[in-house]
Amino acid sequence: MNNNTITINAANFSDLAGFYEEMNRLFMKDVDWKIGHSLDALNDILYGGFGVYNPGEKVIVLWENFSKSKKDLGLEETMKLYKMKIDKGYPYNVNLFQEKLTELKNGEGPVLCDIIVEIFRDHKNIDLRLTD
């Protein structure tokens, strides 16, 4: 692989907290600060310039064992996240997360894995490849 290839291996994490740690390890290597545990922070580092690649630089991201991530970052983990935000309240929009939780209970709405993949795909410089 070339220097612009980053490999996410789902065997290295089993929940959202572990996913964020893996993103820090892979994308923030040799940087003395880490991203917070938020999807907004993930989106920010994917622009580049914070860690292992520059803004706009073409990057291939290989996500290995993706079916494991679909399970680990699926319905249960998504509901857990939304419930935490509802229970915590401020600064979270409780009504929004109650609506999202209701959607999930009704079999509607994206789960974390889908949301994360969409965040990666919104970055046109990243070629995301999902494999098992």
Per-residue pLDDT band at 3 (split at 50, 70, 90): low
> Does residue 21 contact residue 13 with C-beta atoms inside 8 Å?
yes
Q: How large is the average pLDDT for residues 92-117?
A: 97
- Percentage of the chain lying above the pLDDT 90 cut: 87
Domain assignment present for 120 = no
The reported pLDDT for the residue numbered 33 is 85
Domain assignment present for 16 = yes
The reported pLDDT for the residue numbered 60 is 97
β-bridge pairing 5-9 and 59-64: parallel
Look at the block and give the residue holding tokens 């989106």: 43
Which range of residues forms the domain containing residue 55?
Answer: 1-67+126-132
Overall number of domains in the chain: 1
Strand partners, 130: 63
Residue 98 has pLDDT above 90, yes or no: yes
Rounded-to-integer distance, Cα 58 and Cα 54, Å: 9
Helix (H) or strand (E) holding 23: helix 16-27
Domain assignment present for 7 = yes
Q: Residue 53: CA atoms inside 13 Å, Cβ hemisphere, count?
A: 21
pLDDT digits (tens, 9 = 90+) for 20-66: 999 999 999 888 888 889 999 999 999 998 889 999 999 999 999 99
Domain CATH code at residue 17 = 3.30.370
Domain assignment present for 132 = yes
